[in-house]
Amino acid sequence: MCGRFANSETIPVMGGRWAAQVAPGAEAWEPNTDIRPTRRVPVLLEGPAERPRRLGLMTWGWSRDFASSGKLINARIEDAASKRTFAEAVQRRRCLLPATAWFEWKRADPDARPGTKHLLRPEGLETWAMAGLWESTPEGGCVVVLTIAAHASIADIHDRMPVVITPERATAWMTGPADAALALAATVPASGKADPPA
């Protein structure tokens, strides 16, 4: 599960890194090293070839009555396409959430809370994003983060991690056929690097 992440880059920097046109209003976003569910976050969308890639803001979390917190913030990539909640988005509404790190809590005892907080990031990648799905809302859209089994390098901290997408794979993830996009995203995840516990 990815329940907290960081993005320490400004909108102009992200727009340049991802060759994206900045949507109106997105410039107001400020870098944040502790992004929590329900916050507005930078999201990349890509449409037809004649339309430029766009960087805008959406809310992290889909509102659902059956979600324990009222919001779905993650979806497992292994079965997202077969879940009624996510199936249409897998086919038509894939996106990217630029990030610079994510956080997980390691528990020495499974029943212990809250555990020790770790800052994690893909090793050796300067520019990357978390794969996501989006849906339209009256407020401008909302997103969930797709997760995958954690790479062995960080699996002792948590058994899941965000699906990491690099700029070279961005277009294929966002606009390719769903089966090909899922296969690409589900390849061996990037090895992780954990900073000392906070």
Q: What is the DSSP string of 112-136?
A: -SS-EEEEEEETT-SS-EEEEEEE-
Instruction: Check residue 140 and report its DSSP letter.
Output: S
Does 165 score more than 80 pLDDT?
A: yes
Distance of CA 3 to the CA centre of its chain: 10
- Over residues 107-113, mean pLDDT: 65
**Nearby residues of 140 by Cβ (< 8 Å), 6 or more positions away:** 56, 57, 58, 59
Q: How confident is the model at residue 112 (pLDDT cuts 50, 70, 90)?
A: low
Tokens of 4: 């907290």
CATH of the domain spanning 5-194? 3.90.1680.10
pLDDT at 50: 72
CA-to-CA distance for 81 and 84, rounded, in angstroms?
Answer: 8
Q: Show the DSSP H helices in the chain as ranges.
A: 11-17, 87-92, 170-175, 178-185
Considering only CA atoms, give the Rg of the chain.
16
Say how many C-beta atoms besides its own lie within 10 A of residue 24's C-beta.
7
Q: What is the pLDDT of residue 51?
A: 78
190, pLDDT greater than 80: no
Q: What percent of the chain has pLDDT over 90?
A: 67
Whether 42 has a pLDDT exceeding 80, the answer reads: yes
Give backbone dihedrals phi and psi of 170, rounded to 5 degrees, phi first: -60, -50
Give the percent of the chain with pLDDT over 70: 87
Domain definitions of the chain by residue range: 5-194
